């Protein structure tokens, strides 16, 4: 696992500034503390920081082909590289290392851009073909590994993280209004946008080609729901077992110690179950326990670790823990962009814990998006039922009476969403600030420049683009393209790489994802039972109490924290002076949210958390442009 960056001054063909390339590479040290290297030749320069996993001693990058006219920097893992290597050796290719990186460059010589179709793994890489003056950037099918690029007056720059790009003085840092709308709508930014204009995230399943002075993005993979399994539940379960078992086995390839995250849920328990079957030694597992009523999963973690007999390590976040306040500014810096998913903090902490024992950890991420595991899919089903029953369309009138009985934002948002067709309701239930609330949130100056963009447009586009013939298929496809890519995978990458830990996600092996797309809806959700086929497959292999438990997230109880250990931080960074200095937000509205929340009148915890994250980001990453994580703010 690594951090990569580079500059191609193809417009004026001026030499790459070595000091700028050094800065771009150095700011990625956390992604690759073991080793580093650079290629700087004329108007092309590449940088790499390496976390050594495969061939730790011999795999120093950049890596070249035999005659050194093709060079690669690579971030990720290719799980089928040994099979590919054998085929390439038979074709006469000579290898100097035992790395998967070298396999890619020789496969490129054989197949050109079509080499991507043969790679099974998570990756972001750059190949500079000096002889043909061609740049080849590529990102894996699901977007597990990040890759950003920017086009400026001299040419093109790229990097694993935006903070690396910002070391290039030719990159302008003008805020992207649509990205700001995304953030306050959803808590994250929808790709290919970034928080800065003219800086983009290369979409998953795409490659970028720079040749003859032209830049083109091309898609090489997309997920299809067109084909459906015709087997019955038993045979489908057997096939699913083989697919996920094979994926976990392939993800265990490593020349350094590895372990697994264990949350006490069925996804991580499934991964650990297959790891134990493949390992002769006890699997090392790692957990973070949030010691708050309604959030503590310690009992389920205990059941899992006892059942699998793992070598287990865990840490506790308690109600008086001051580490959250100290860690939040660092989390902001590592994320590069405004990001309001509070589960970043426990993910960071479990990554930090795991790094004390291993360099690689397997995670259960992706199971919910593949197999319809979120409560929102059940909410969709309820909404469909209500829509078909005459007289229930006015249930939104219950919102005011219900608000007197509960301040639970999820319940209120569910009722509010019933006024929309199911397609928009699915989006609405994950919205942070609604359209009406954003009108009050933004300043007059910000609203003056409003172009009419709405984050829902992206969701609607994916929904309509999906080739599946059911509502569930279309929502799963949409969530994989949005929520999974831009929130879940982003969080896991940044939190783990901040701790120099590689995290692998067997549920997102593209063969697993493609098989799950073929599973009929009634084997994903049966009645109101989510992830039915996974539960059936793992029955007897995972404790029944874990299989039958309710879904829980990994988020912090931010509503309580804002009133307690984060109160001073919140009031300082959401003060009138702080908000007005942003030039984007309306202090009067924000002040009312804080007052209602602190008085216990309404639960605005998630909204205030997002505002706090944005204010801290603006100070740390935008105004101060820090090149290393802050100790204090």
CA gap 410, 429 in Å, rounded: 7
| Pick from 237-246, 292-301, 371-380, 534-543: least confident | 292-301
The answer on pLDDT for 633 being more than 70 is no
CA gap 286, 247 in Å, rounded: 21
The answer on pLDDT for 399 being more than 90 is no
- 317 confidence band (pLDDT: 50, 70, 90): confident
Do the annotations mark residue 247 as ligand-binding?
A: no
Pick from 100, 95, 6: nearest CA to 48? 6
| pLDDT at residue number 471 | 94
Q: What are phi and psi of 174, to 5 degrees?
A: -90, 130
- 460 confidence band (pLDDT: 50, 70, 90): very high
Peptide bond into 274 cis (omega under 30): no
Q: What DSSP designation does 361 have?
A: E
Instruction: State the average pLDDT over residues 200-212.
Output: 97
Q: Which residue has the tokens 């928080």?
A: 195
| pLDDT at residue number 387 | 67
CA gap 556, 605 in Å, rounded: 11
Q: What DSSP designation does 189 have?
A: -
> What does the mean pLDDT of the chain come to?
92
| pLDDT at residue number 565 | 86
pLDDT digits (tens, 9 = 90+) for 387-397: 666 655 555 55
- 280 confidence band (pLDDT: 50, 70, 90): low
CA gap 450, 152 in Å, rounded: 25
Do the annotations mark residue 288 as ligand-binding?
A: yes
206, 217 contact by CB (below 8 A) = yes
- 429 confidence band (pLDDT: 50, 70, 90): confident
Active site residue 5: no
CA gap 210, 474 in Å, rounded: 33
The answer on pLDDT for 403 being more than 60 is no
The answer on pLDDT for 274 being more than 60 is yes
CA gap 213, 520 in Å, rounded: 46
Q: What DSSP designation does 314 have?
A: E
Q: What are phi and psi of 321, to 5 degrees?
A: -70, 120
44, 6 contact by CB (below 8 A) = yes
| pLDDT at residue number 390 | 61
| pLDDT at residue number 312 | 95
CA gap 408, 21 in Å, rounded: 49
Residue 629, both tokens:
């994580």
Residue 238, both tokens:
């057997």
Do the annotations mark residue 416 as ligand-binding?
A: no
May I ask the CATH class of domain 2-219?
A: alpha beta
Residue 579, both tokens:
């908000």
CA gap 107, 118 in Å, rounded: 9
Contacts with 367 (C-beta within 8 Å, 6 or more apart), sequence order:
266, 267, 270, 373, 507, 531, 534
CA gap 58, 65 in Å, rounded: 15
Contacts with 338 (C-beta within 8 Å, 6 or more apart), sequence order:
180, 183, 189, 195, 610, 613, 614, 617
| pLDDT at residue number 116 | 98
| pLDDT at residue number 15 | 97
Do the annotations mark residue 100 as ligand-binding?
A: yes
Contacts with 400 (C-beta within 8 Å, 6 or more apart), sequence order:
none
Instruction: Please work out, in degrees rounded to the nearest 5, the angle formed at the alpha carbon of residue 364 by the alpha carbons of 534 and 614.
Output: 130
| pLDDT at residue number 419 | 78
Contacts with 604 (C-beta within 8 Å, 6 or more apart), sequence order:
559, 593, 594, 596, 597
Q: Which residue has the higher pLDDT, 322 or 576?
A: 576
| Pick from 75-89, 211-225, 273-287, 397-411: least confident | 397-411
Size of the chain, expressed as the number of residues it contains: 633
Task: Please give the sequence-ordered ranges of beta strands (E in DSSP) within 422-532, or none if there are none.
Answer: 502-504
Q: Domain spans of the chain?
A: 2-219, 233-371+474-547
The answer on pLDDT for 131 being more than 80 is yes
CA gap 367, 157 in Å, rounded: 34
Q: Which residue has the higher pLDDT, 400 or 338?
A: 338
- CA distances from residue 192 to 165, 198, 345, 527 in whole angstroms, order as listed: 16, 10, 25, 36
pLDDT digits (tens, 9 = 90+) for 7-43: 999 999 999 999 999 999 999 999 999 999 999 999 9
pLDDT digits (tens, 9 = 90+) for 503-518: 999 999 999 999 999 9
Instruction: State the average pLDDT over residues 233-242.
Output: 97
CA gap 271, 546 in Å, rounded: 13
CA gap 455, 189 in Å, rounded: 9
501, 360 contact by CB (below 8 A) = yes
| pLDDT at residue number 167 | 95
Instruction: Please work out, in degrees rounded to the nearest 5, the angle formed at the alpha carbon of residue 30 by the alpha carbons of 26 and 36.
Output: 50
| pLDDT at residue number 448 | 86
Residue among 2, 115, 150, 466 flagged as catalytic: 2
Q: β-strands 199-201, 148-151: how paired?
A: antiparallel
Largest CA distance in the chain: 75
Count the helix, strand and coil residues of the chain and give each as a percent rounded to the nearest 5.
45, 15, 35
pLDDT digits (tens, 9 = 90+) for 339-377: 999 999 999 999 999 999 999 999 999 999 999 999 889
- 406 confidence band (pLDDT: 50, 70, 90): low
Contacts with 461 (C-beta within 8 Å, 6 or more apart), sequence order:
none
Q: What are phi and psi of 94, to 5 degrees?
A: -110, 135
CA gap 325, 340 in Å, rounded: 15
Q: Which residue has the higher pLDDT, 422 or 474?
A: 474
Q: What are phi and psi of 211, to 5 degrees?
A: -150, 140
Helix (H) or strand (E) holding 103: helix 100-111
| pLDDT at residue number 423 | 87
Question: Between 3.40.50.150, 3.40.50.720, 3.40.50.620, 3.30.70.100, what CATH number should domain 233-371+474-547 receive?
Answer: 3.40.50.620
CA gap 125, 26 in Å, rounded: 18
386, 395 contact by CB (below 8 A) = yes
């Amino acid at each position: 696992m690594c951090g990569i960056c580079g500059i191609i001054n193809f417009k004026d063909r001026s030499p790459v500034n070595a000091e700028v390339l050094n800065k771009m590479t150095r700011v990625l040290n956390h992604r690759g503390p073991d080793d580093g290297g650079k290629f700087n030749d004329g108007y092309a320069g590449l940088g790499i920081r390496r976390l050594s996993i495969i061939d730790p001693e011999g795999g120093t990058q950049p890596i070249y082909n035999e005659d050194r006219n093709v060079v690669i920097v690579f971030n990720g893992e290719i799980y089928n590289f040994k099979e590919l290597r054998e085929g390439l050796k038979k074709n006469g290719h000579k290898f100097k290392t035992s790395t998967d990186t070298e396999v890619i460059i020789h496969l490129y010589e054989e197949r050109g851009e079509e080499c991507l179709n043969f790679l099974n793994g998570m990756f972001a890489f750059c190949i500079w073909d000096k002889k043909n003056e061609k740049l080849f950037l590529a990102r894996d099918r699901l977007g597990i590994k990040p890759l950003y690029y920017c086009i400026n007056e001299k040419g093109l720059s790229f990097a694993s993280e935006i903070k690396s790009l910002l070391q290039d003085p030719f990159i302008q840092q003008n805020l992207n209004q649509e990205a700001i709308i995304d953030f306050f709508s959803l808590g994250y930014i929808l790709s290919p946008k970034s928080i800065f204009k003219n800086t983009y995230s290369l979409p998953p399943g795409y490659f970028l080609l720079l040749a003859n002075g032209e830049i083109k993005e091309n898609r090489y993979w997309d997920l299809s729901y067109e084909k459906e399994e015709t087997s019955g539940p038993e045979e489908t379960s057997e096939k699913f077992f083989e697919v996920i078992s094979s994926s976990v086995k392939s993800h265990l390839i490593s020349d350094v110690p590895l372990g697994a995250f264990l949350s006490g849920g069925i996804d991580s328990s499934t991964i650990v179950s297959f790891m134990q079957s493949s390992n002769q030694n006890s699997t090392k597992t790692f957990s973070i326990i949030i010691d708050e009523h309604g959030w503590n999963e310690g009992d389920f973690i205990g059941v899992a670790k006892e059942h699998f007999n793992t070598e287990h390590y865990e840490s506790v976040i308690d109600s008086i823990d001051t580490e959250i306040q100290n860690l939040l500014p660092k989390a902001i810096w590592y994320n590069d962009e405004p990001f309001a998913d509070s589960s970043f903090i426990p993910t960071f902490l479990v990554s930090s814990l795991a790094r004390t024992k291993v360099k690689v950890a397997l995670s259960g991420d992706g199971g919910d998006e593949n197999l319809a595991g979120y409560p929102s899919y059940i909410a969709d089903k309820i909404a469909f039922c209500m829509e078909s029953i005459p007289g229930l369309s006015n249930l939104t009138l219950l919102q005011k009476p219900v608000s007197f009985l509960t301040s639970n934002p999820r319940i209120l948002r569910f009722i509010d969403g019933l006024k929309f067709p199911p397609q928009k309701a699915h989006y609405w239930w994950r919205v942070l600030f609604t359209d009406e609330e954003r009108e009050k949130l933004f300043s007059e100056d910000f609203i003056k420049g409003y172009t009419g963009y709405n984050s829902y447009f992206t969701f609607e586009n994916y929904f309509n683009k999906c080739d599946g013939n059911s509502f569930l298929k279309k929502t799963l496809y949409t969530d994989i393209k949005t929520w999974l890519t831009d929130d879940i995978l982003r969080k896991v990458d940044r939190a783990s790489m901040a701790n120099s830990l590689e995290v692998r996600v067997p549920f997102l092996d593209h063969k697993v994802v493609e098989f799950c797309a073929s599973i009929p809806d009634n084997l994903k959700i049966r009645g109101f039972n989510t992830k039915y086929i996974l539960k059936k497959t793992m029955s007897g292999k995972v404790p029944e109490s874990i299989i039958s438990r309710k879904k829980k997230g990994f988020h912090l109880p931010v509503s309580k924290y804002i009133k307690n250990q984060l109160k001073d931080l919140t009031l300082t960074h959401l003060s009138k002076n702080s908000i007005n200095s942003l030039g984007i937000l309306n202090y009067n509205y924000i002040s009312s949210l804080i007052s209602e929340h602190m008085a216990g009148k309404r639960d605005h915890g998630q909204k205030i958390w997002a505002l706090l994250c944005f204010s801290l980001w603006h100070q740390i990453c935008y105004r101060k442009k820090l090149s290393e994580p802050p100790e204090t703010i």
